[in-house]
Amino acid sequence: MVSTGMRLRYSQAVLSFLVFLADADLAATRTSQLCDAAARWVEYLYADGQRKGLASDGLAGLQYFWPQCQGKLKQAWKLVKVWQRVGPPMRVLPLSPLLVLGMAGMAAALRLPEIAAGLLVCFDGILRSGELYQLRVSDVTFYGSKASAAARLHKSKRSEQMVLTCGPEFFRNCFKFFLSESHLSAFNINVFYSLRRGGATWDFLSYQSMERTLLRGRWASTSSARVYLQDAVATIAHLRLEEKVSRPAIQVTVDTGKVAAPLEDEASSLGFSVKLSGFAKGP
């Protein structure tokens, strides 16, 4: 017998799993695909320093809401059971401030200010996807040249205006487009994991305070978060951007031919006016 409270926990955990599927562009139309995706989700939760209970609730929730997968999530359950002994999974690359500013510049030039704001807030605030998607205007307070944002998951209220009104799918599509324009599509970069990981990494490198970064990143497990950050710092130490990669981010140029079809049409369908006049084409 599943209690009301347990059902709510299952629902929230399964929602986290579904957001992961969307952000990672993973298909789960068949049971075998669902099993593989669930295992990858558990790995990402471990890498992000999340609590093990979230993974357990998610897997149990999948089995509760979709009984057909009972007994078929063996790999994911195995990862949960040996959580403390599992080596760090394959990491996504952390984005640098240069690339994030370049992407935000592209968004601003396309007259998509909330996309630009979302990129910058997600990076600087070390936000998770759900935290950005549910960020309200009322959560943001300005203090002169600075601002603070209350990152929390709360119930939706129709009277409260969302910061990101365009929706998660359009935000992800914009991010992928900016990656393509920066010649980074071939790299292991994920929309929110790379933004969050990059924000945490550069915060630590800037202030040299593990405690500060752990606090700002709001990790449930400090031990996992330390491994997460140490690995990220080691990763960027070996990253060297070629000129063809860094130049587009600095110049913030967009190929109007590529934008016109996929991005402009989608923005128009959502009620946004994307203007391409005056744009310099990429080299």
Q: What is the pLDDT along the chain (283 residues), one digit of tens a residue?
A: 778 888 888 998 999 898 888 877 787 778 788 888 999 898 888 777 677 888 899 999 999 998 888 888 999 999 888 775 655 555 678 888 988 999 999 999 999 999 999 999 999 999 988 788 888 888 888 887 777 887 765 555 555 788 888 888 889 889 988 888 888 877 777 777 889 888 999 999 899 888 898 888 888 667 767 777 777 777 776 555 444 445 555 454 444 334 444 555 555 555 555 444 333 333 3
Alpha-carbon gap, residue 233 to 248, rounded angstroms: 24
pLDDT at residue 240 in the model: 52
pLDDT at residue 167 in the model: 83
Q: Which domains does the chain have, with CATH numbers?
A: 4-85 (no CATH), 97-269 (1.10.443)
With contact defined as beta carbons under 8 Å apart, do 11 and 155 qualify?
Answer: no
Partner residues linked to 140 by β-bridges: 149
pTM given for the model: 0.61
pLDDT at residue 85 in the model: 62
Both tokens assigned to 138: 């009322």
Helix (H, G, I), strand (E, B) or coil at 149: strand
pLDDT at residue 59 in the model: 93
Q: Is the dihedral of CA 36, 41, 46, 51 positive or negative?
A: negative
pLDDT at residue 278 in the model: 37
pLDDT at residue 276 in the model: 41
Q: Is the dihedral of CA 152, 153, 159, 163 positive or negative?
A: positive
